[in-house]
Amino acid sequence: MATARDTTGNAMEKTVLPDLSDPSLYNNRELSLLEYYQRVLEEAEDPKNPVLERLKFLCIVASNLDQFFEVRVAGLKQQRQSHLALPGSDGMSPSEQLAAISVRVRNMVQDMYRVWSQELVPALEENNIFFLRCDELTPEEKHYYTRYFEKSVYPVLTPLAVDPVHPFPQLLNKSLNVAVELDGADITSQLGVVQVPHILPRLLPYRAGEKRMYRYIFVGNLIQSHVSSLFHGVGVKGAYQFRITRNSDLYLDEEETDNFLKTVEHELRKRSRGDAVRLEVQSDCPRHIIDQLLQTFGLTDEDLYEVDGPINFQRLLSVITDVDRTDLKFRPFAPAMATLPESAQDIFSQIRAKPVLLHHPYESFQAVLDFIRQAAEDPSVLAIKQTLYRTSGDSPIVASLVEAAEAGKQVTVVIELKARFDEAANIRWARMLQEAGVHVVYGIAGLITRAKLTLVVRQEENGIRRYLHLGTGNYHPSTAKLYEDFGLLTCDPKMTNDSAELFNWLTGVSHFPELKKIKAAPKGLYEFVLEMIQREEHHALAGKPAGIYVKVNALVDEDVIQALYAASQAGVRVRLLVRGVCCLRPGIPGISDNIAVRSIVGRFLEHSRIYRFENAGKPEIYLSSADWTARNFLQRVEICFPVDDGQLRSRVDEVLKIYWQDNLKAREQGTDATYCRVASDDEPVDAQTFFLEQTRKRK
């Protein structure tokens, strides 16, 4: 409150509204993302998880950190160099963010190697799974691995000297390397480098012995032990593994290229040679070698990470499939099959009778594959249109689309060549589809197409009817077993017409269409979300039932956060299930005390986006491909679609209810970016386990 004077001079109180753009009201995006990685790491620490699953979570964290440096840190470094970047909503400059990231990641890396050495290694050894150094091998094993080195490793290695005549080699992104310290009065270089080719497996099992005994060594350690054979007549003082992470973002000027596919291919070839952003070295590496490496790659101590263990935990993923121990993994489950008839015509009659809602991975993605396959085989189907952002390496969807095109159907596919780290795979699919006669387009210049749509046009007795699949996840059968998502099969005329208009915009030359039921980015979805939040605010101020319950992967956009703050101040109860980045700060008195933020990290990756608005007692529920970030709203082609059917809406409502009851895998965000497990005296609830048990009961 502030004191003011009325027209008579008497004192009166004036309400001063808080400044919702105050940087103290926002979490930094990058630091919030690192907190999400920490929650994943907690699953590796959790002894209640099977030990091989704990190892998998550790590998996931390592993979996440690699991409974080390749993209996020690389981008911040470029912003710092340009001196043009403005602080974000949290007020942090690129330099401040990089410094904070260095501290935060350093602590996380320490946690990772502590979990590995103090918890996972002993637990794995108790189950006869060993990761050994060469000096720990039995005589028989030493003989086996020496022969392996001589026959399979030595022939593909190339020792490289570093001196004025031999410049430092161009090391590829994330490649394993060995720095060799040399000793000799008659040599011109004190340093050599051995790059470990990608063709060599990083983990080498010992195949002899008991069937349920698993013994491994790392190829880097094997090379270290035999590295002197690569430098004949020269003393070797030591050998130390290291790895460089490079900027891996693509830089594309879509409007200045005649052939976008070839431009992407060209940029992909440059990815492995981008600027260095991180140096990882073994902790026993001498400081003078570290300094030489840092100087060579233009890095500082801020970019240095010394590790006591495997340089790259991702290489351990092969162990999870290699080790035949179901007792050390999550209990297998088979997803329920959707109640769709098997015949080609019945699947369409089923959709005509009632829309079908699919909840993956608890319900099989096979229903989606069958929908596309049967559309390809059905002689009454005239055309198929689909967006492809990511799909599997042996995609049955691509096979069905090829079959449809070869059968004379009109097939149009919008392939996103800029799907990060899937660009090469999508280029292969684009070429295969084009060769089969599919119309392949790459979307709209300057935008990334992430909407998940399949439109089927069918000739029926009463004329042409269109059928539609919309999803929150990708058309990727493999990840559909691991990612939680929703899909909807419908023939609603307004929704199918909206989808047709969207495809016409993506493939032709036209203005963004006016849509009736589907909301889409980059035009309309942003405004819709803000309007829905403001509508709940108005309902609360009018004394009507008001509430917002949203499940997304990221909440970053400043305008949306300010709208949520305003709704909270008006009395709207806001529940936010945000798996990853959340820049909003809940629980701030007078600002966000009606907002609660939770994150669920478990066996499956929570991936679906659900928007629920109370709407004065007449709840509306929407499913979407879009997170609440400016990038998703303004730089992507995304969709948001209503769940109109009463039964299906109630089903999604029940799913949201179970999620909020989770008190085992849910973490709650405090007023800053940190999280703690939900404290509750209620009966233990694990939402993912609950849905799995429901699936088992249906079988």
State residue 50's pLDDT score: 97
| Coil, helix or strand at residue 206 | coil
Q: Count CB-CB contacts under 10 A for residue 393.
A: 9
Q: What is the pLDDT of residues 474-521, one digit of tens each?
A: 999 999 999 999 999 999 999 999 999 999 999 987 788 899 999 999
State residue 209's pLDDT score: 58
Phi, psi of 410, rounded to the nearest 5 degrees: -80, 115
| Coil, helix or strand at residue 181 | strand
Residue pair 641/452 in contact (Cβ under 8 Å)? The answer is: no
State how far the Cα of 538 lies from the Cα of 328, in Å rounded to an integer: 53
Average pLDDT taken over every residue of the chain = 90
State residue 618's pLDDT score: 96
Q: What is the pLDDT of residues 367-403, one digit of tens each?
A: 999 999 999 999 999 999 999 888 877 789 999 999 9
Indicate whether 342 pLDDT > 60: no
Phi, psi of 603, rounded to the nearest 5 degrees: -60, -40
State residue 340's pLDDT score: 53
| Coil, helix or strand at residue 327 | helix
State residue 631's pLDDT score: 94
Domains, the chain, with CATH or none: 28-328 (3.30.1840.10), 344-515 (3.30.870.10), 521-698 (3.30.870.10)
Phi, psi of 480, rounded to the nearest 5 degrees: -65, -15
Query: Across residues 290-319, what is the average pLDDT?
Result: 94
Sign of CA dihedral 620, 621, 624, 629: positive
Q: What is the pLDDT of residues 162-217, one digit of tens each?
A: 876 667 888 889 999 999 999 875 666 788 999 999 999 999 999 755 667 899 99
Of the listed ranges 143-157, 167-181, 327-341, the least confidently predicted one is 327-341
State residue 594's pLDDT score: 98
With a pLDDT cut of 70, the percent of the chain lying above it is 90
Residue pair 214/323 in contact (Cβ under 8 Å)? The answer is: yes
State residue 419's pLDDT score: 57
**Confidence tier at 347 by pLDDT (50, 70, 90):** confident
**Residue 272: is it exposed, middle or buried by C-beta count within 10 angstroms (0-12/13-18/19+)?**
middle
Q: What is the pLDDT of residues 533-587, one digit of tens each?
A: 999 999 999 999 999 999 999 999 999 999 999 999 999 999 999 999 999 999 9
Sign of CA dihedral 111, 112, 113, 116: positive
Indicate whether 527 pLDDT > 80: yes
Question: Percent helix, strand, coil in the chain (nearest 5)?
Answer: 40, 25, 35
State how far the Cα of 566 lies from the Cα of 580, in Å rounded to an integer: 23
List of residues 6+ apart from 467 with CB closer than 8 A: 348, 351, 371, 375, 455, 456, 458, 489, 490, 491, 496
Query: Across residues 589-618, what is the average pLDDT?
Result: 97
Buried b (16+ CB within 10 A) or exposed e, 216-241: bbbbbbbbbbbbeebbeebebebbbb
Indicate whether 344 pLDDT > 50: no
State residue 423's pLDDT score: 67
Instruction: Put residue 373 in one of left, alpha, beta given phi > 0 → left and psi -120 to 50 → alpha.
Output: alpha
Q: How much is the pTM? A: 0.91
What separation, in Å, do the N-terminal and C-terminal C-alpha atoms of the chain show? Answer: 61
State residue 255's pLDDT score: 44
Q: What is the pLDDT of residues 394-403, one digit of tens each?
A: 789 999 999 9
Of the listed ranges 326-330, 417-421, 470-474, the least confidently predicted one is 417-421
Cis peptide before 50 (omega within 30 of 0): no
Q: What is the pLDDT of residues 115-124, one digit of tens each?
A: 999 999 999 9
User: How is residue 602 annotated by DSSP?
Assistant: S
State residue 166's pLDDT score: 66
Q: What is the pLDDT of residues 418-458, one digit of tens each?
A: 656 666 777 787 888 888 899 988 878 788 899 999 999 99
Indicate whether 250 pLDDT > 60: no
